[in-house]
């Protein structure tokens, strides 16, 4: 879309989800079968070309509809090889439409500074990439048997060569490496977004949701026991007494989103999509929900056609996970603006600093760790903290 100040913005799922078709691969979603046409449309070079012109990655319209452009130039083709960190960051980078605030750059991350590729830790087998068993992200795990962890390289006794090494190493049984070595999120960290209340951004020439930005640790991060699993709403599971959890940092994020009025349960609801084109240009929240519901993918999800019927079982499982008997379709046209139930605890693993937090960051009465929330008694808290 073209902004009011003449800038052209191409943003959305298709920028990184590289199917390259005019709509998501609907048949594959329902049947797990992919067509030759869909294979030919995949943007292989965005991952495999060392020389890739991201300015070509824009939405264009032809006689069949809208689709994402690709850099299929000879320059990109002859530079093809194994994907490296630069290629990964074409999508996994912090832009104004992302919310994790932990950039993997030499300035912000000790591993990036050392020149480690993403696949050094996230090893791959063909096009299957290990995400790691520990995560609250609602993303498929390609290689669930592969462990991605700090101790894979650093062991559970990583501290050496200082008077405090032994003391610090006693922490690793209960404390994750990230808890100390992610010392702060990025300055543009999103803490809260309200899509029901658009405000006009004069500099960018578009409407954006009302957003609270902060990287103050007590406001941006929470520390919780985590056993490596999460709820369907991306909330970390774990307990002090289960014998397998450690304390991890999680980025707090809350948003006001549209929920289908007919599919709302006690612990969550069916979140409806948003059409950013209408939102950015017109700032019309109702229009951007209703227009998105006319997209082929949403018609499929709500049961139109044979493929839609095949997805019904999946949708019923999703709704039962949030306390409903099943998925109600077709869409009745009603929705409710609602905060996400609970708080989304987003996993943070990058922006790792060489030097971790000082002891006083946690072990003082006004420290960043809420020991009571972690299940410690008053007597235990007194032993763990001191007054400055």
Determine the pLDDT at residue 278.
80
Taking CA atoms, 349 is separated from 113, 148, 248, 378, in Å, by 15, 11, 10, 31
DSSP 169-198: HGGGGTB-HHHHH-----TT-EEEEEEEEE
Confidence of residue 304 (pLDDT cuts 50, 70, 90): low
Indicate whether 388 pLDDT > 70. no
Determine the pLDDT at residue 329.
87
The token duo for 139 is 């993303």
Q: What percent of the chain lies above the pLDDT cut of 70?
A: 93
Indicate whether 133 pLDDT > 80. no
Determine the pLDDT at residue 138.
65
Specify the pTM: 0.86
Distance CA 57, CA 73 (A): 12
Determine the pLDDT at residue 383.
94
- Calculate the average pLDDT of the chain: 87
Distance CA 209, CA 276 (A): 11
Of the ranges 10-14, 318-322, 331-335, which one carries the lowest mean pLDDT score?
A: 10-14
Determine the pLDDT at residue 310.
64
Question: Parallel, antiparallel, or unpaired for β 246-264 and 190-201?
Answer: parallel
Distance CA 279, CA 12 (A): 12
By 3-state DSSP, what share of the chain in percent is helix, strand and coil, each rounded to 5? Answer: 30, 20, 50
Q: Work out the average pLDDT over 9-20.
A: 76
* Closest residue by Cα to residue 345 from 238, 198, 194: 238
Around 215, how many Cα atoms within 13 Å sit in the side-chain half-sphere?
12
The token duo for 77 is 């083709």
Q: Work out the average pLDDT over 300-327.
A: 77
Determine the pLDDT at residue 48.
95
Buried b (16+ CB within 10 A) or exposed e, 237-251: bbeeeeeebbbbbbb
Q: What are the start-end ranges of the H helices in 240-356?
A: 276-282, 285-292, 296-301, 305-320
Each as own residue / partner, the long-range contacts of residues 56-59 (CB below 8 Å, 24 or more positions apart, any chain) are 57/10, 57/15, 58/8, 58/10, 59/10, 59/12, 59/14
Distance CA 318, CA 312 (A): 10
Indicate whether 65 pLDDT > 90. no
Determine the pLDDT at residue 26.
65
Q: Work out the average pLDDT over 137-163.
A: 87
Q: What is the dihedral of CA 187, 193, 198, 204, to 10 degrees?
A: 30
Determine the pLDDT at residue 309.
65
Indicate whether 238 pLDDT > 80. yes
Distance of CA 280 to the CA centre of its chain: 21
Indicate whether 268 pLDDT > 90. no
Q: Which residue has the higher pLDDT, 98 or 23?
A: 23
Indicate whether 315 pLDDT > 90. no
Q: Work out the average pLDDT over 8-23.
A: 76
Distance CA 368, CA 360 (A): 9
Residues 125, 143 contacting (CB under 8 angstroms): yes
Max Cα distance, the chain (Å): 72
Taking CA atoms, 375 is separated from 171, 224, 237, in Å, by 17, 10, 14
Determine the pLDDT at residue 229.
87
Mapped onto helix, strand or coil, the DSSP state of residue 278 is helix
């Amino acid at each position: 879309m073209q902004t009011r100040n003449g800038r052209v913005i191409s943003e959305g799922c298709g920028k990184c989800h590289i199917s390259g078709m005019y709509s998501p691969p609907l048949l594959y979603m329902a049947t797990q079968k992919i067509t030759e046409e869909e294979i030919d449309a995949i943007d292989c070079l965005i991952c495999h070309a060392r020389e890739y012109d991201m300015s070509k990655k824009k939405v264009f319209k032809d006689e069949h509809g809208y689709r994402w452009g690709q850099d299929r130039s000879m320059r990109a083709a002859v530079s093809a090889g194994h994907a490296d960190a630069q290629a990964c960051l074409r999508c996994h980078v912090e832009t104004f439409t992302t919310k994790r605030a932990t950039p993997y750059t030499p300035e912000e991350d000790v591993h990036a500074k050392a020149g480690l590729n993403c696949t050094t830790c996230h090893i791959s087998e063909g096009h299957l990439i290990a995400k790691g068993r520990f995560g609250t992200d609602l993303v498929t795990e390609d290689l669930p048997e592969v462990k991605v962890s700090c101790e894979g390289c650093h062991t559970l006794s990583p501290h050496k060569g200082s008077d405090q090494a032994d003391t610090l190493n006693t922490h690793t049984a209960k404390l994750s490496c990230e808890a100390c070595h992610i010392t702060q999120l990025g300055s543009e960290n999103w803490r809260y977004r309200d899509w029901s209340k658009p405000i006009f951004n004069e500099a960018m020439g578009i409407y954006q949701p009302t957003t609270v930005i902060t990287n103050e640790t007590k406001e941006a991060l929470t520390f919780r026991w985590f056993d490596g699993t999460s709820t369907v709403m991306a909330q970390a599971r774990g307990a002090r007494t289960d014998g397998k959890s450690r304390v991890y940092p999680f980025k707090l994020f809350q948003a006001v989103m549209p929920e289908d009025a007919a599919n709302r349960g006690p612990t969550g609801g069916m979140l409806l999509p948003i059409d950013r084109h209408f939102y950015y240009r017109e700032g019309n929240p109702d229009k951007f929900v209703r227009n998105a519901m006319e997209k082929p993918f949403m018609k499929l999800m709500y049961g139109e056609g044979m493929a839609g019927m095949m997805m019904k079982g999946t949708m019923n499982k999703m709704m039962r996970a949030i306390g409903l008997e099943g998925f109600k379709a077709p869409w009745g046209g009603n929705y409710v603006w609602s905060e996400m139930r609970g708080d989304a605890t987003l996993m943070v693993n990058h922006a790792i600093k060489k030097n971790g937090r000082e002891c006083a960051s946690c072990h003082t009465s006004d420290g960043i760790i809420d020991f009571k929330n972690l299940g410690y008694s008053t007597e235990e808290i007194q032993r763990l903290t001191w007054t400055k």
